[in-house]
Amino acid sequence: MPKGTVIFDGDCPFCRMFSQLARWFGFEVRSIQESQEFLKSMLGQNFPFALYLIVEHDDVVEVAWGKEAIVSMLKILRFGPMSYLGYVIYPVLKKVNTKSDRINRERGICGCMLSGRKFVRK
């Protein structure tokens, strides 16, 4: 059983590389290009391209994106207090990802600049 579902930008080489790592750690992976309807059905709106983590709990579904998704993934992988390094690692990684800067210039914002978490009742 997967630890959760990672949704990533399938057009971004950096994101595709990260998705392979997530799959190796036991997460299901899907591109956002094939997941927009899924996200819209859960959250009621379309979302920009970003890294998402979907985790089903007993009575709710957790949807985390950006650095919140990284922190949640590290907790699932039992990194303990080291999980909070996601708050430091993610901003560094998004600076390395030059695609996000280009998207920011072209569209005004790239989803990888966003972070958050929402719980949806089943």
Tens-digit pLDDT profile for residues 31-48: 888 888 887 877 776 666
Model pTM? Answer: 0.80
User: Which pLDDT does position 34 carry in this prediction?
Assistant: 85
Residue 58, domain extent: 5-121
Contact by Cβ (8 Å): 67, 115: yes
pLDDT in tens, 45-99: 666 667 889 999 888 989 898 889 989 999 999 999 999 988 888 777 767 766 6
- Total domains present in the chain: 1
DSSP state of 101: H
